[in-house]
Amino acid sequence: MVSPNNTIPQAQEPEQEPIHELSDKELEALAVRLDVEHAIPQSKVQFKASPPPVPHVAKGVPKLRAVPPSTVKSSAVPPPVPQVQHTETQQVLGELNDILGGFPKTEILDGGNAETLKEAIRSFVTKSGYRASAATDKGVNYKDHNEDCVVVSPETNMIAVVDGMGGREGGREAGQYIARALKENPLNVKSAIEKAKAMMDKNLDMSGACFLSARVMEQKGKKYLDVNQAGDVKLIVYDKNGRVKNQSKDQSLPQILVDLGIIDEDQALYNQYRNVVIGGISTENYLETQREALEGLKDPKKYPKDAIKAFPEPGETKNYIVPVESGDRIVIISDGISDNFTPKEIGGMIEGKTQEEAIQEISDATDERMMDEANIIKTTEAAGGRVELRAFSDGYLSTPKRDNRGIAILDIA
């Protein structure tokens, strides 16, 4: 078995094109017109002005509220970014494209040495003028390394979150194989995943990773997401008012139990098997253990046949289309976030906020749950338990959980 410390063959990086250094006047003009500080984050170009760091603000959360409100506001949070007309954004980006000779290349974010999610925020503008922000970190009081990563491809309007299966040796390496393959080939996800799978089988034993990628497409005036999913990384589409319009279906054991009618959706939020993934991209050895785990549930005499037919096939990537429209907000998150909050709760956190503010809010909320995980569970049990209270003592519906975190947000213009 390959340990996480073994050297993994690195994908060959494409030769970088020469980067044109902008003058101060050009930088200031672009910064004002785009109204973003990191429109070209992986280039050598740096905007002079950047927002001050946002200090951690502990929020008091009312007990037993399903969607705890944010009662404390930090004065250090940057003001909302004014909306830029799509046509003007396209014009400015066209000028930027001419100056730099191309849009930013696809980039993998791994969080670096960030101590918390909000310290790792990166923002982008895609070729089609969509704003995107992303961040990932190792989580609070969890592991000393991060098995999540985020892939952003501004040139192809694609964002993806990858989650190495932390319960398996080599989860981080498996996730990196997927991320590198998506970076090399963001337009052909099927081919990219086949390459990543081959690398896993060659270099790892019982390992795997989950991922979900979404690319914004437009045809005949209609916009939609081309989604590829394997595992329990979650996609949520919110409307302009923060309401959930659509969401992906987890490829996990609790979701299968819900489909079979063994537990309901509320029980899935605190089910003891919620970290068991049935799906993901894994080595052949690990796929066999997943298939064996499913066999015991494939009994048509006990469970609905339609539910059994809908079981995810371990190792397969599910491809589907999700319609979107201007004003929608696309959020992709790993289970370090989705296991702590429901889509509705997340919608309440991000409504009316910029992408950066939304990630800061989610960062603070998950920080608190991860730091106070044991006490939240203990207090809930002492007060009657989750079943009786219908929520945990901090007001949220899901069991608090420590894990790596990954998030990507894209707003549809």
The pLDDT assigned to 93 comes to 53
Please report whether residue 96 resides in a domain.
Answer: no
Q: Report the mean per-residue pLDDT for the chain.
A: 81
Q: Which residues pair with 133 in a beta bridge?
A: 123, 409
Task: Decide if 164 contacts 172 (C-beta within 8 A).
Answer: yes
Q: Which residues pair with 227 in a beta bridge?
A: 214, 320
**Which of the residues in the chain have pLDDT under 70?**
1-104, 166-168
Three-state SS for 107?
A: strand
Please report whether residue 167 resides in a domain.
Answer: yes
241-281 pLDDT, tens digit each:
899 999 999 999 999 999 999 999 999 999 999 888 988 99
What residues make up the domain containing 338?
A: 103-372+405-411
Which DSSP string corresponds to 11-30? Answer: PPPPPPPP-PPPPHHHHHHH
The pLDDT assigned to 61 comes to 38
Task: Decide if 312 contacts 205 (C-beta within 8 A).
Answer: no
pTM for this prediction? 0.77
278-330 pLDDT, tens digit each:
889 999 989 998 888 888 888 888 888 889 988 888 899 999 999 999 999 99
Three-state SS for 223?
A: strand
Please report whether residue 82 resides in a domain.
Answer: no
Q: Which residues have C-beta within 8 Å of that of residue 292, sequence separation ≥ 6?
A: none
Please report whether residue 14 resides in a domain.
Answer: no
User: What is the radius of gyration, based on Cα positions, of the chain?
Assistant: 21
Q: Give the C-alpha separation, 46 to 37, whole Å.
A: 8
Structure tokens at 336: 């370090």
The pLDDT assigned to 51 comes to 41
Helix (H), strand (E) at residue 134: strand 131-137
Query: What's the CATH code of the domain at 240?
Result: 3.60.40.10
Please report whether residue 323 resides in a domain.
Answer: yes
Please report whether residue 73 resides in a domain.
Answer: no
Structure tokens at 28: 């200031």
Please report whether residue 55 resides in a domain.
Answer: no
Q: Tell me which residue of 209, 261, 214, 206 sits closest to 232, measured CA to CA.
A: 209
Please report whether residue 239 resides in a domain.
Answer: yes
Count of domains in the chain? 1
